[in-house]
Amino acid sequence: MIELHEAGVVVSAPEGDTTILHPTSLALAECRISVIGGNGSGKSTLARLFNGLIEPSTGRVLVSPGGRVAGGRGSRTGAAAAAERAGGEGSAEREGSLAPPLDTARDGAAVRRAVGFVFTDASAQLIMPTVEEDVALSLRRAHPRKAERLAAARAVLERFGLEGLAERSVHTLSGGQKQLLAIATVLATDPAILVADEPTTLLDLRNARMIGELLMSLPQQVIVVTHDLELAARADRTLVVESGRVVFDGPPVEAIAHYRDRVAQP
Ligand SMILES: Nc1ncnc2c1ncn2[C@@H]1O[C@H](COP(=O)(O)OP(=O)(O)OP(=O)(O)O)[C@@H](O)[C@H]1O
């Protein structure tokens, strides 16, 4: 569960301060949430607030890793695990729904462990030479011993059907394989929430559908920013962003109709 309380983003530019996200209040509890809108409308800015990549200039963004998620799919074992990793001492308290939420401005590291973030361009996220090493990098904290870490990395690759690519250089992967690996590396640490910023934009139809299927099948709460209206329609709730504001928030069918209407207007 992610809550925005009058959270806004103002950036400094030579010509003066510019508001790129107006103060916004939201409680995001649905299992699948999509965010749509035109280029430059503020979708990525909003998404980056969710895991503290951007701190709000005004207001607050709160994350409850163990909080209730409406319409959950599958078991949510990751929520408790992420909360435990996030909290350090006294972390057991976070497993209960009464645990205080994390504040993205105050608890940045814990928030980033609880909220995984997948970028449009997977290449920017893959930094180690081989596929297996890249997944293992995510597991350094959970498995300090190398042998255990590599075994855990293999298990993650198997879960995502990537075991045959373990020794391959990440640079030799196709776009679809790279995006799948990027998602696998983020999910390796079992975050409670996954935010994906246009994860299918660079992919062909087959791979876009494969990634869409994966995102929709995860036990995590998933928030996906997308220009793919077919994918957006599969959410439980859709936010439409325009000119730095959430201008519609509701069922996907109505949200997409609203977006199409706005685009159709001269
Ligand atoms: N650090 C920054 N400094 C100045 N302007 C910024 C900064 N970050 C974003 N912007 C501007 O804020 C607006 C919203 O950007 P954002 O990346 O959130 O849009 P978006 O909806 O994700 O767009 P797209 O669909 O093209 O990825 C854009 O006009 C962008 O140029």
Can you give the residue ranges of every domain in the chain? 27-56+65-264
For ligand 1, mutation pick of 12, 19, 22, 43 (most atoms within 8 Å of CB): 43
For residue range 166-188, list pLDDT tens digits in order.
Answer: 999 999 998 889 999 999 999 99
Question: For residue 75, which phi and psi values (nearest 5 degrees)?
Answer: -85, 145
Rounded to an integer, what distance in angstroms lies between the CA atom of residue 73 and that of residue 83? 19
Rounded to an integer, what distance in angstroms lies between the CA atom of residue 171 and that of residue 123? 8
Does the ipTM surpass 0.95?
yes
Nearest CA to ligand 1 atom 30: 40
**pTM exceeding the 0.90 threshold for the entire prediction:** no
Could you tell me if the CB of 44 is within 6 A of ligand 1? Answer: yes
Could you tell me if the CB of 42 is within 6 A of ligand 1? Answer: yes
Q: CATH top-level class for 27-56+65-264?
A: alpha beta
Which two tokens mark 180? 């799948």
CA contacts within 13 A on the Cβ side of 8: 13
For residue range 181-224, list pLDDT tens digits in order.
Answer: 999 999 998 999 999 999 998 888 888 898 999 999 999 999 99
CA dihedral 39, 120, 79, 42 (to 10 degrees): -20
Could you tell me if the CB of 41 is within 6 A of ligand 1? Answer: yes
